[in-house]
């Protein structure tokens, strides 16, 4: 059995005074301290980062991380768009399962705000298909198409989407590491400017800086002596067409459905067993689709059920979504997001989530997506 035995994150936001590798070094030192380990206990490092090669002209991040840590162990750079962190975690789990290591550090990191917005957006758009880029589509435009199809198919409005943002900003308000710690209203969302109709500024996750790190281990002695432990029950990946035009349906992300089915089958638990979930809400529509694709809500019902705030902290229902604030409020430093999601679930399962703690959390799920659904990672932890 492989377990998570340590976690550390920086604050997410506009971190002007820190470089990408300042952030990486900070979380590596922090996670070793959290797990009460030395670097010599670790056999390998996996780092998820999307834009370092594009924005910083640095494609050899593995060697840079080795330099920071003053080590000669294997360091693997993983890129899979916004799913880079989740894929790095999945590969680290598989590396241990294959017998190549016992204890591994997983890092996710991104530095995005130091660059002109058009340069950053151009880099992010590289995760879309060439055809989509050539006609000027960015990710707000792609998710706006998904939102329009969903709304017209099931009879929902822009107001229905807004409830996702209101809920997640409330959770972000409770999270001291979140990019945005401000509660908002439905009216705030509806009055915010359009980015790509029907999606508005407050339907959209921000451009953020940040880094997160986890330590995972199959070393029985290290796991036994760790103060905070969560078991990794499954971590599964699925893929789909990079372009929307090649998909059979636009009211779902098929890769999420496939990865979720595999993850629950491997974990041997039911959907109803999950107490907390971190979902990839890059835009408000993405959380609604995810709730259905993961099998938590019946197809076509998310737009209605979100208005009841069923998954908001403090509602007493026992299933809370995006306690960190999600990508929407906690922030979205793309390479770090997937690691932060798993870290938030780990905090919840070990009772360390502070004001946003969900009582009696036994199982948690993290859902990380690359692009408009070309890649999906679903990870389930238990205690």
What is the helix (H) or strand (E) element at residue 270, kind and residue range?
Answer: none
For residue 348, give the nearest of 292, 280, 274, 295 by alpha carbon. 274
137 and 273 together in one domain: yes
26 and 63 together in one domain: yes
214 and 196 together in one domain: no
Give me the pLDDT at residue 144, please.
Answer: 98
Give me the pLDDT at residue 317, please.
Answer: 77
Report residue 42's pLDDT band, with 50, 70 and 90 as the boundaries: very high
213 and 244 together in one domain: no
Q: How far apart are the first and last CA of the chain?
A: 12
Give me the pLDDT at residue 372, please.
Answer: 97
| Any domain includes 357 | yes
pLDDT in tens, 348-372: 999 999 999 999 999 999 999 999 9
Bridge partners, residue 212, by sequence: 9, 108
Any catalytic annotation for residue 82?
yes
| Any domain includes 148 | yes
In the predicted model, what is the mean pLDDT of residues 291-315? 96
Which domain-ending residue is among 193, 225, 257? 225
150 and 299 together in one domain: yes
| Any domain includes 243 | yes
| Torsion angle in degrees (nearest 10) through CA of 252, 309, 359, 8 | 60
* Residue in 8, 82, 171, 280 annotated catalytic: 82
Which domain-ending residue is among 164, 195, 225? 225
Whether the per-residue pLDDT at 178 is higher than 90: the answer is: yes
220 and 237 together in one domain: no
| Any domain includes 122 | no
Any catalytic annotation for residue 282?
no
For residue 179, give the nearest of 339, 330, 328, 10 by alpha carbon. 330
Report residue 222's pLDDT band, with 50, 70 and 90 as the boundaries: very high
CATH of the domain at 180: 3.40.47.10
146 and 93 together in one domain: no
93 is in which domain, residue-wise? 3-116+208-225
pLDDT in tens, 60-109: 999 999 999 999 999 999 999 999 999 999 999 999 999 999 999 999 99
190 and 321 together in one domain: yes
Q: How many C-beta neighbours within 10 Å does residue 232 have?
A: 25
Task: Give the three-state DSSP class for 39.
Answer: helix
| Any domain includes 237 | yes
313 and 283 together in one domain: yes
Distance from C-alpha of 57 to C-alpha of 251, rounded to nearest angstrom: 37
102 and 170 together in one domain: no
What is the helix (H) or strand (E) element at residue 324, kind and residue range?
Answer: none
The angle at the Cα of 92, spanning 90 to 93, to the nearest 5 degrees, equals: 65
101 and 136 together in one domain: no
0.95 surpassed by pTM: yes
| Any domain includes 121 | no
pLDDT in tens, 30-39: 999 999 999 9
201 and 214 together in one domain: no
Buried b (16+ CB within 10 A) or exposed e, 34-56: bbebeeebbbbbbbbbbbbebbb
| Any domain includes 74 | yes
DSSP 219: -
Distance from C-alpha of 256 to C-alpha of 299, rounded to nearest angstrom: 14
Q: Are 281 and 287 in contact (CB under 8 A)?
A: yes
| Any domain includes 16 | yes
Which domain-ending residue is among 225, 258, 284? 225
Whether the per-residue pLDDT at 194 is higher than 80: the answer is: yes
Give me the pLDDT at residue 318, please.
Answer: 82
Give me the pLDDT at residue 232, please.
Answer: 98
Domain count, the chain: 2
């Amino acid at each position: 059995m492989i377990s998570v035995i340590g976690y550390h994150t920086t604050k997410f936001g506009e971190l002007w005074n820190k470089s990408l590798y300042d952030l990486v070094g900070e979380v590596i030192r922090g996670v070793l301290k959290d797990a009460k380990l030395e670097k010599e206990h670790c056999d390998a490092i996996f780092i998820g980062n999307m834009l370092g090669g594009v924005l910083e002209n640095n494609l050899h991040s593995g060697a840079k991380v080795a330099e920071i840590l003053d080590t000669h162990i294997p360091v693997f750079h993983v890129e899979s768009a916004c799913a880079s962190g989740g894929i790095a975690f999945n590969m680290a789990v598989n590396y241990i399962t294959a017998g190549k290591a016992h204890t591994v550090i997983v890092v996710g990191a991104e530095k995005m705000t130091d660059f002109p917005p058009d340069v950053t957006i151009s880099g992010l758009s590289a995760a879309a298909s060439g055809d989509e880029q050539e006609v000027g589509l960015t990710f707000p435009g792609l998710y706006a198409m998904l939102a329009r199809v969903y709304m017209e198919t099931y009879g929902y409005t822009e107001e229905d989407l807004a409830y996702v943002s209101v809920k997640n900003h409330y959770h972000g308000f409770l999270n001291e590491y979140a990019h945005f710690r401000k509660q908002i209203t439905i009216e705030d969302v509806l009055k915010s400017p359009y980015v790509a109709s029907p999606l508005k500024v407050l339907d959209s996750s921000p451009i953020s800086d940040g880094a997160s790190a986890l330590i995972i281990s199959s070393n029985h002695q290290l796991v036994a002596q760790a103060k905070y432990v969560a078991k990794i029950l499954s971590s599964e990946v699925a893929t789909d067409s990079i372009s929307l035009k090649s998909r059979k349906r636009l009211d779902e992300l098929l890769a999420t459905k496939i990865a979720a089915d595999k993850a629950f089958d491997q974990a041997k638990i039911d959907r109803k067993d999950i107490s907390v979930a971190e979902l990839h809400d890059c835009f408000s529509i993405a959380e609604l689709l995810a709730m259905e694709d993961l099998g938590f809500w019946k197809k076509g019902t998310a737009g209605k059920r979100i208005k009841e705030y069923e998954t908001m902290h403090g509602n007493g229902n026992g299933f809370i979504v995006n306690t960190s604030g999600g990508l929407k409020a906690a922030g979205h430093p793309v390479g770090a997001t997937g690691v932060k999601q798993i870290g938030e679930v780990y905090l919840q399962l070990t009772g360390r989530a502070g004001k946003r703690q969900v009582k009696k959390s036994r199982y948690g799920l993290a859902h990380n997506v690359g692009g408009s659904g070309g890649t999906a990672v679903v990870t389930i932890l238990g205690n």
